[in-house]
Amino acid sequence: MTLSHTPLAQLETPAAVIDIVRMQRNIDRMQARMDALGVRFRPHAKTSKCTPVVRAQIDAGASGITVSTLKEAAHFFAHGISDILYGVGMVASKLPQALALRRQGCDLRIVTDSVESARAIVAFGAAHGEAFEVWIEIDTDGHRSGIRPDEPALLEVGTVLHEGGARLGGVMTHAGSSYDLDTPEALAAMAEQERAGCVHAAQRLRGAGLPCAVVSVGSTPTALSAQGLEGVTEVRAGVYVFFDLVMHNVGVCATGDVALSVLTTVIGHQPDKGWAIVDAGWMAMSRDRGTQKQKRDFGYGQVCALDGAAIDGYVLSGANQEHGILSREGEPDRDIAARFPIGTLLRILPNHACATGAQFPTYHALAADGETTEWSRLHGW
């Protein structure tokens, strides 16, 4: 992070812009909800991969973080954050990295969802005199990874860990299928399904005489839709800090809540097609077309004015590597060259904030006075 300040309109484009006011509002909204529900909140740092953003989350009341790579864990530990959950299934080849972090003083927790992985963890731990804290991932929605709450494998994995000398810390789940929903009723039902499944898994482990202190659930939609979290000890969520158009379509934010945008410049026109050409293509926006299967397709992003206000009906409808195609939904705008002259600065809201952020080495954090400050962003694995 640098101390230099640059007016938004003077940035080179394309540039990733964080609206600090919107970001802080999103952080405060989520933290207030978790406080009201009486649970600890562990934000996922994979969305921003940015120390100032994570610091703002912790300053608001978050306790610990979740990461998606061990490089993220090392980065944030180096910046003073020690309570870290590596929320991706552990494989044997990465155990030396995890051990190194723990030996440096990082309170790193790791995750497994298989007997094979559990055995590798306890064998490596025994060989190196290390008792890893391990959480078992639970599949509460058939979305991706994890052991179903009623599977026999749950107790087998728990037993392998506990009897093998690891610390069985708890269970965790992520209802990623909530991203496919778009009504308050469906989201609330999924949040309850996520909660009930993870709590049931914890109860099975405890009933078998195995420790299970932590019950960790979460996704941005379910965190914002849960009506109650009985039996849950902590919640995790990530994209809420910026939000995006997928979350808008899910129904948990408005476009005015989306804190990440890409600043771009109009560089040409195809008036007969109703196109303006901008310098933000898929290399800037990413190829994520997450809204394509939702109730409203925003193409590669929602077009906004320089002040961040959405320009209704105009989207980034197409993208090549370094060129974006801006057009009006429905009837082509034959006056688009007059509406968006060459040199016009615009901001594009992304489909998926995590994917768009990953295209840039730095963010430009935009303060209320229109000045920006560079915030570095972690890259790679």
Q: Which among 319, 210, 312, 306 is positioned nearest to 15, based on CA atoms?
A: 306
Separation of CA 236 from chain center: 10
CA end-to-end span of the chain, whole Å? Answer: 20
**Are 136 and 38 part of one and the same domain?**
yes
Last residue of a domain, one of 240, 269, 296: 240
**Are 320 and 274 part of one and the same domain?**
yes
At residue 287 the predicted structure's pLDDT band, cuts being 50, 70 and 90, is very high
Cβ(301)–Cβ(245) below 8 Å: yes
pLDDT of residue 3: 53
Does residue 247 belong to any structural domain of this protein?
no
**Are 211 and 82 part of one and the same domain?**
yes
Last residue of a domain, one of 188, 208, 240: 240
> Tens digits of per-residue pLDDT, 141-195?
998 899 999 999 999 999 999 999 999 999 999 999 999 999 999 999 999 999 9
Cβ(51)–Cβ(67) below 8 Å: no
**Are 291 and 218 part of one and the same domain?**
no
Cβ(52)–Cβ(1) below 8 Å: yes
Last residue of a domain, one of 211, 240, 269: 240
Q: Which two tokens stand for residue 114?
A: 């298989």
Considering its fold, how many domains does the chain have in total?
2
Percent of the chain with pLDDT over 90: 98
pLDDT of residue 117: 98
Q: Is the pLDDT of residue 2 over 60?
A: no
Does residue 332 belong to any structural domain of this protein?
yes
**Are 226 and 281 part of one and the same domain?**
no
Does residue 12 belong to any structural domain of this protein?
no
**Are 177 and 33 part of one and the same domain?**
yes
Ramachandran region of residue 38, left (φ > 0), alpha (ψ -120 to 50) or beta? left
**What CATH number is given to the structural domain containing 261?**
2.40.37.20
**What CATH number is given to the structural domain containing 235?**
3.20.20.10
- In whole angstroms, give the CA distance from residue 84 to residue 86: 6
List C-alpha distances in Å: 125 to 103, 131, 135, 164.
12, 6, 15, 9
**Are 260 and 214 part of one and the same domain?**
no
| Bridge partners of residue 40, in order along the sequence | 234
The single-letter code of the amino acid at 228 is: G
> Tens digits of per-residue pLDDT, 218-270?
999 999 999 999 999 999 999 999 999 999 999 999 999 999 999 999 999 99
**Are 341 and 197 part of one and the same domain?**
no
**Are 327 and 223 part of one and the same domain?**
no
- In whole angstroms, give the CA distance from residue 287 to residue 102: 36
Angle at 176 between CA 174 and CA 177, to 5 degrees: 130
**Are 137 and 230 part of one and the same domain?**
yes
- In whole angstroms, give the CA distance from residue 356 to residue 366: 17
Percent of the chain with pLDDT over 70: 99
Cβ(191)–Cβ(227) below 8 Å: yes
In the sheet with 107-112, reading across from the earlier edge strand, the strands are: 40-41, 234-235, 214-217, 167-173, 133-138, 107-112, 83-89, 65-67
The greatest distance separating any two alpha carbons of the chain, rounded to the nearest whole angstrom, comes to 72
Does residue 381 belong to any structural domain of this protein?
no
> Tens digits of per-residue pLDDT, 172-181?
999 999 999 9
Range of the domain at 313: 255-376
**Are 275 and 229 part of one and the same domain?**
no
Does residue 1 belong to any structural domain of this protein?
no
> Tens digits of per-residue pLDDT, 83-133?
999 999 999 999 999 999 999 999 999 999 999 999 999 999 999 999 999
Cβ(78)–Cβ(54) below 8 Å: no
Mean pLDDT, residues 68-83 taken together: 98
Cβ(19)–Cβ(308) below 8 Å: yes
**Are 86 and 210 part of one and the same domain?**
yes
Does residue 249 belong to any structural domain of this protein?
no
